[in-house]
Chains A and B, each alone.
Chain A
């Protein structure tokens, strides 16, 4: 069977015979096993593959980032502390995918609780980049991107981003990642990292795939008080419309060689000419606030994360030990947490506890929330004049795993410079591969105003058609 695009697969999937569907499922299972062997992309493979309904995704395999709860299927969030955790319920996005006829192929590798930009902070195996197995996949949705890149069967990934965890792996692996507006997709069933920023999104082989799955999983959910009631748009219907007259902003700071690999910046700049050919125009603008975004983002993220992770204390679920009455509860919890959390998780808990501690919280946590307002205003000013902002997705190409492992935390945090701005302010982004450097893919990040997913998907789709990236 030759690899079909999902776009063409959908033309026939409604007419699949039972045996054909069984074949597709069997093949997806077999190939996933091989992909896992090759790239360590999964934490758990699903043994009970089942299609529950004949919806639009009939016969499409869906992989799920391992911080999204799947009823009865182990969900670890990439952490030892949840090594044996079996969720008692499905996340809303999982219910939606199942209703649409998709089947859950497995749970994909990630940085523990989403704490990382490379998918190297892993309690389990570190996923490898299918473009070059010595290199990182990007993080934290690394497994999702690796499976998407390697899959030769109809597959789309459910991923998740807090500060750039969809864009980074999409860019590093040469896949398309959509990070929707905060609140567009229900977080019910998502294991929290930073609740005011966490967004479930998608990674696909092309714009169509990622947009299709987003269309299915989005929508208001009464079980998530921060999900938004909106008229749900059909990205598929609007994405092929032309982009003539679109105005694009190019913030010069995001192309500064001091922060961005010159080759990456230049390639993105080069591909902008394609936009002009499509009838869009662009202006170089300045967004000087960008340099505050990383610090403010990390402060909020770790403050929230350190409270979210407090619940893992060796009771009710997750890592536990036989009761030893010589220990106090504090001592027991401290031992469980020392053993159950990896180094980055501990670092972020400690830092986050600091940032919200009395005496410091005004100077860090509260100030960072105020800066978020400044940054939102900054984006709104740009979007009052432009349809989208375009930047590189990542400042570098995927580093080698061994180099990434020895990087100082501060340097790793700096890798998020392109992505934290829109993620911190809840703006939707799409990352599409546009070129290669040293044979490794590089991504372009298109940022839209809140709830303007349709617009950035349309730009990406138009660009994708003329880029001939592969």
Chain B
């Protein structure tokens, strides 16, 4: 099992404008081709002018990924013909990227090496009328996306499995969000070319996989496919493959009748950009708190466990923000961290939602957990409420407040009733089959509609049976 995985990750930078013109970046619900101008549509005579903020973002990312920063960068033209290319060349960085030779450490202590970080323009968006490249008679092109700024982050093939990839990607996205340069909800915010090779096999590249989940699916499929190919043929061929989101499989991209040659030249419309030491120091000094530091602070200031702190911060920035916001309403970090990283996160993951995509409010969530801790509400009911809250977005404040936990005497009354009508189970229990009373406990919980604490119910039932035995023995 000696897999090597490497990633070429493209993330959309969330500047306000495109990389080389003043059209909007990341505009939502725009009419096709309405967010365009002669520059990003490649009209003759138009000239690109570099967005300063995008360069700053590029430097920030490179710094956060521990890269060395080039003192002088420039842009190149990568020439190839494709219907989504407004000029049939892409303005990108070739010889000298913004950052080189960085790394990002994951929890097992491994450093995933970063080969390069650069910025480039996005091509237009292609729509396939049949939703399939192979069967569509023609294509539809929307240049609204053309020229939007991307950062390309290239790793060395340092990942051994998809768990490492997932952890790295979570951490990377959290870093980008902490830097404030990335919006995970933007259209085509994250894409990657995934390189996978198994032991003794050639490197296979899966092109243009969209989103985190699909990256994992593509890796899983490729490893299985390559192992099986190796068993059958004794080798894995070097090739480029296409990932289908529908089937979760990869297919070989039809070999071109000739190999494209990008014929890189320096883009003569764009002067060099000097990244002086002073400028880099300035950007460095302005960097916000990054995930690793935030985790340390969480452990130090809030005295929470490292595993909770890591999940809160690395899962996504909004979750950590939500945690800190909730603390303002209920200052019990340990309890909040536990509930957020377990039951809240479970509900979010179920719906593939991030916290800021829901209507869950820190003040309401804090109230809920405070109520649990003060025994005003049962754990079980709290879990239900979290689920309802995430599912529906309905304000649960009243449900928290109107809930009255059932008292011990009431539980005992109900328990006696169930014990009396289930004497067979009681005698089974007495013979040593302790699970025999589960039915009784379940029935009580059902009747109390989760207002009773299951642990308490169990105690009461056992207590009552023991007492009854004692009275019989007398």
Do chains A and B make direct contact within the complex (CB under 8 angstroms)? yes
Which residues of A are at the interface with B, using a C-beta cutoff of 8 A? 68-69, 75, 77, 82, 85, 87-89, 91, 187-192, 194-196, 222-226, 303-304, 306-307, 310-311, 313, 315-317, 323, 325, 329-330, 333, 353, 356-358, 361, 365, 369
Query: Besides the contacts A304-B265, A356-B265, what 13 more A-B pairs have beta carbons closer than 8 Å?
Result: A68-B45, A77-B44, A89-B45, A190-B45, A196-B268, A223-B49, A307-B77, A310-B79, A316-B43, A329-B82, A329-B83, A333-B81, A353-B263
Q: Contacts A225-B47, A307-B79, A330-B81 hold; do A195 and B86 have CB atoms under 8 A apart?
A: no
Q: Contacts A310-B79, A356-B264, A358-B261 hold; do A189 and B45 have CB atoms under 8 A apart?
A: yes
A231 to B95, CA, bound (A): 35
Instruction: Tell me which residues across on chain A come within 8 A of B265, comparing CB atoms.
Output: 303-304, 307, 356, 361, 365
A54 to B269, CA, bound (A): 34
Least CB distance, B303 to chain A, in whole angstroms: 53
Least CB distance, B260 to chain A, in whole angstroms: 10
What are 13 pairs between A and B in contact, CB < 8 Å?
A: A89-B45, A187-B47, A190-B45, A191-B45, A194-B268, A222-B49, A225-B48, A303-B263, A307-B77, A307-B89, A313-B81, A315-B83, A356-B79
Indicate if B367 sits at the interface (CB-CB under 8 A).
Answer: no
For the A-B complex, the count of residue pairs with Cβ-Cβ distances under 8 Å equals 101
Instruction: Tell me which residues across on chain B come within 8 A of A77, comparing CB atoms.
Output: 44
A58 to B386, CA, bound (A): 76
Indicate if B270 sits at the interface (CB-CB under 8 A).
Answer: yes
Among residues 32 to 49 in chain B, which have CB atoms less than 8 Å away from a CB atom of chain A?
A: 38, 41-49
Q: Contacts A188-B47, A316-B42, A325-B137 hold; do A225 and B271 have CB atoms under 8 A apart?
A: yes
Which residue of A has the minimal Cβ distance to B83?
Answer: A329
Q: Contacts A225-B47, A329-B83 hold; do A356 and B268 have CB atoms under 8 A apart?
A: no
Which residues of B are at the interface with A, using a C-beta cutoff of 8 A? 38, 41-50, 77, 79, 81-83, 86-89, 137-139, 141, 261-266, 268-271
A306 to B261, CA, bound (A): 13
Least CB distance, B117 to chain A, in whole angstroms: 23
Which residue of B has the minimal Cβ distance to A189?
Answer: B45
Least CB distance, B135 to chain A, in whole angstroms: 12
**A316 to B268, Cβ gap below 8 A?**
no
Which residue of A has the minimal Cβ distance to B20?
Answer: A225
Q: Which of A68, A75, A225, A226 gathers the greatest number of chain B CB atoms within 10 Å?
A: A225
Least CB distance, A370 to chain B, in whole angstroms: 12
Instruction: Tell me which residues across on chain A come within 8 A of B137, comparing CB atoms.
Output: 325
Which residue of B has the minimal Cβ distance to A310?
Answer: B88
Least CB distance, A350 to chain B, in whole angstroms: 12
Q: Contacts A225-B271, A307-B79, A310-B88 hold; do A88 and B38 have CB atoms under 8 A apart?
A: yes
Tell which of B45, B48, B264, B271 touches A87, judged by Cβ atoms closer than 8 Å.
B45
A348 to B468, CA, bound (A): 103
A353 to B262, CA, bound (A): 9
A437 to B41, CA, bound (A): 49
Instruction: Tell me which residues across on chain A come within 8 A of B268, comparing CB atoms.
Output: 194-196, 226, 304
A80 to B302, CA, bound (A): 72
**A195 to B263, Cβ gap below 8 A?**
no
Instruction: Tell me which residues across on chain B come within 8 A of A190, comparing CB atoms.
Output: 45
Least CB distance, B364 to chain A, in whole angstroms: 50
Q: Contacts A69-B45, A226-B271 hold; do A310 and B138 have CB atoms under 8 A apart?
A: no
Which residue of A has the minimal Cβ distance to B42?
Answer: A311
Q: Which of B46, B49, B86 gathers the greatest number of chain A CB atoms within 10 Å?
A: B46
**A310 to B89, Cβ gap below 8 A?**
yes
Q: Contacts A225-B47, A316-B43 hold; do A323 and B88 have CB atoms under 8 A apart?
A: no
A194 to B265, CA, bound (A): 12
Tell which of A223, A316, A333, A357 touches B261, judged by Cβ atoms closer than 8 Å.
A357
**B49 to A91, Cβ gap below 8 A?**
no
A192 to B50, CA, bound (A): 18
Which residue of B has the minimal Cβ distance to A353?
Answer: B263
Instruction: Tell me which residues across on chain A come within 8 A of B38, comparing CB atoms.
Output: 88-89
A315 to B79, CA, bound (A): 17
**A311 to B264, Cβ gap below 8 A?**
no
**B264 to A224, Cβ gap below 8 A?**
no
Which residue of B has the minimal Cβ distance to A354?
Answer: B263
**A310 to B269, Cβ gap below 8 A?**
no
Tell which of A325, A329, A357 touches B81, judged by Cβ atoms closer than 8 Å.
A329
Instruction: Tell me which residues across on chain A come within 8 A of B47, comparing CB atoms.
Output: 187-188, 223-225
Least CB distance, B201 to chain A, in whole angstroms: 26
Least CB distance, B392 to chain A, in whole angstroms: 47
Least CB distance, B171 to chain A, in whole angstroms: 35
Least CB distance, A314 to chain B, in whole angstroms: 10
Instruction: Tell me which residues across on chain B come within 8 A of A87, comparing CB atoms.
Output: 43-45
Q: Which of A68, A188, A356, A361 gathers the greatest number of chain B CB atoms within 10 Å?
A: A356
Instruction: Tell me which residues across on chain B come within 8 A of A91, comparing CB atoms.
Output: 45
Instruction: Tell me which residues across on chain A come within 8 A of B269, comparing CB atoms.
Output: 192, 195, 225-226
Instruction: Tell me which residues across on chain A come within 8 A of B43, comparing CB atoms.
Output: 87-88, 316-317
Q: Which of B264, B265, B266, B271 gathers the greatest number of chain A CB atoms within 10 Å?
A: B265
**B263 to A307, Cβ gap below 8 A?**
yes
Instruction: Tell me which residues across on chain B come within 8 A of A196, comparing CB atoms.
Output: 268
Q: Contacts A82-B44, A188-B47, A325-B138 hold; do A357 and B263 have CB atoms under 8 A apart?
A: yes
Least CB distance, A367 to chain B, in whole angstroms: 13
Instruction: Tell me which residues across on chain B come within 8 A of A365, comparing CB atoms.
Output: 265
Which residue of A has the minimal Cβ distance to B138?
Answer: A325
Q: Contacts A190-B45, A333-B81, A358-B263 hold; do A313 and B88 have CB atoms under 8 A apart?
A: yes
Which residue of A has the minimal Cβ distance to B36?
Answer: A316
Instruction: Tell me which residues across on chain A come within 8 A of B46, comparing CB atoms.
Output: 89, 188
